[in-house]
Amino acid sequence: MSDIIRRDPRREWIARNRLHPLHDSVANAVQGEVRGPSGLLRKNPHQVGFIGPNGLKRIDRLKGNAVVGVGNKRSAANQEAVLPLHKVDNPDFYIVVVPDMVGGRLSGHDKDILGLAHTMVSTIEGNGAVVAVCFGESKETHYDLAGVDRLIHLSASEYEGFAPEARLTALTHIEAQLAPKHWLFPDSIHGGSDLGSRLAARLGERPAAQAWQVSGEQTVCRGGGGSLDISRQTPRILMLLEECGEAIDETRHEALAIEVDGISVSEPALQDKGLMDVDPSAIPLAEAEFILSAGNGIHNWDQFHKVATVLGATEGASRVAVDDGFMPRFRQVGATGTWVTARVYLAVGISGAIQHMQGIGQCDKVVAINTDAGCDMVKRAALSVIGDSEDILAELMLLAQARKKGSQEEQSDAA
């Protein structure tokens, strides 16, 4: 075609005349952005929006973020967008994270450290991969969303439970195989700081403990019993405090398995004899792992105390139960009581007033037993059971007693 611009006076005339029956088709034919004579971007305000069902013009300013209606299933599915996949092929170096995996899942602390590992990777030249080393049985299903590029899962029985020496042996093997640039451990009482210290002593590295501000070059860690900030070069082995980094939330990762073979674990010097039975009522409420909590829906208090003993749960209570004199004040959970951190919180006959909910904000799994299916506790709970508390507690007691008897018989069989 020739470069000569040919004008069509009739089309121009129709475009100017908004009342012309063909105006719409001519005006909409102009594609892309339109520049005015001074080079400014021009928008045609008459083309925005659409004509609604009753003939009125409608302009959608929500840009597709409108609340999804009930019948609109398809767009709801679209909203759960798949995060972009972060891929690392042939990594130049590795940063190894050894998460605590409390209860077989990545804790918030672990996820922060995985996030930090990724910020460290981005400040170091070359493409690096973040490796997670997990020991024992794992219930975690979302390694990919937590930022794990490579996963080493050692599930053999010798790593299960308390096995710092076997785990140390495995880590020294991984050191030989991957030669990671950094080792990151959570500085926690769940075994992370113990394992990190063991590895540092074995490798002859000088670690940074209680580190909380880490970049590729510089690390700030606490010293002097928490009274000093020590700035130093980032060492190879780091033990990191909580909230040291931001957890990954915008990318998906491969979580490819890496095999480590040829680990030979020798007979450990520390022999695990298992957990001791501690009196659950002696554990401070704020620290207790499993709380059985009673509210206004409990009428048989003897039964409640018995169930708590059989299940081995620490007792808690709502304010009403305390005010009515059924429970001591130090058992009260909530805004004016204790803020608990239990992993499992079993709320029996508690409606879930906001003052109570504040106290259980950090609990992982909440289980509700209540007669009212619409109460706030049921909305918060991972499992809710609608029914009378007395019947359900009675059944629960039977189950717990049967299990106890079973395990005792097993022991006497073995003996």
Give residues 295-354 in contact with ligand FAD (rule: CB under 6 A). 295-297, 318-321, 332-337, 349-351, 353
Q: Which helix (H) or strand (E) holds 195?
A: helix 192-203
- Close Cβ partners of 339 (under 8 Å, ≥ 6 residues apart): 286, 358, 359, 361, 362
Q: Which does 288 bind (CB under 5 to 8 A by kind): ligand FAD, other proteins, none?
A: other proteins
Residues 181-220, mask of contacts with other proteins (x by CB under 8 A): --------xx--xx--xx-xxx---xxxxx-x--------
**SS3 at position 249:** coil
Shortest distance in whole angstroms from residue 391 CB to ligand FAD: 8
**SS3 at position 98:** coil
**SS3 at position 81:** coil
Residues 374-413, mask of contacts with ligand FAD (x by CB under 6 A): -x------------xx------------------------
Residues 69, 6: Cα–Cα separation, whole Å: 50
- Among candidates 128, 132, 137, 126, which has minimal Cα distance to 113? 132
The yes or no reply on residue 255 touching other proteins (CB under 8 A) is no
The yes or no reply on residue 84 touching other proteins (CB under 8 A) is no
Nearer to ligand FAD, 162 or 339 (CB): 339
The yes or no reply on residue 249 touching other proteins (CB under 8 A) is yes
- Among candidates 209, 236, 235, which has minimal Cα distance to 224? 209
Shortest distance in whole angstroms from residue 313 CB to ligand FAD: 17
Single residue of 341, 355, 367, 394 touching ligand FAD by CB under 6 A = 355
317: tokens are 């209570």
The yes or no reply on residue 410 touching other proteins (CB under 8 A) is no
Site residues for other proteins, window 265-324 (CB under 8 A)? 269-276, 278, 282-284, 287-290, 311-313
DSSP letter for 404, please: H
- Close Cβ partners of 136 (under 8 Å, ≥ 6 residues apart): 101, 104, 154, 155, 159, 160, 161
Site residues for other proteins, window 344-403 (CB under 8 A)? 344, 346, 365, 367, 369, 373, 378-388, 391-392, 394-396, 398-400, 403
Shortest distance in whole angstroms from residue 255 CB to ligand FAD: 41
Single residue of 111, 253, 331, 356 touching ligand FAD by CB under 6 A = 356
Strands 182-186 and 93-97: parallel
**What is Dmax (Cα atoms) for the chain?**
105
- Among candidates 190, 189, 229, which has minimal Cα distance to 208? 229
308: tokens are 């708590």
Site residues for other proteins, window 2-61 (CB under 8 A)? none
Binding site for ligand FAD (CB under 6 A): 295-297, 318-321, 332-337, 349-351, 353, 355-356, 359, 369-372, 375, 388-389
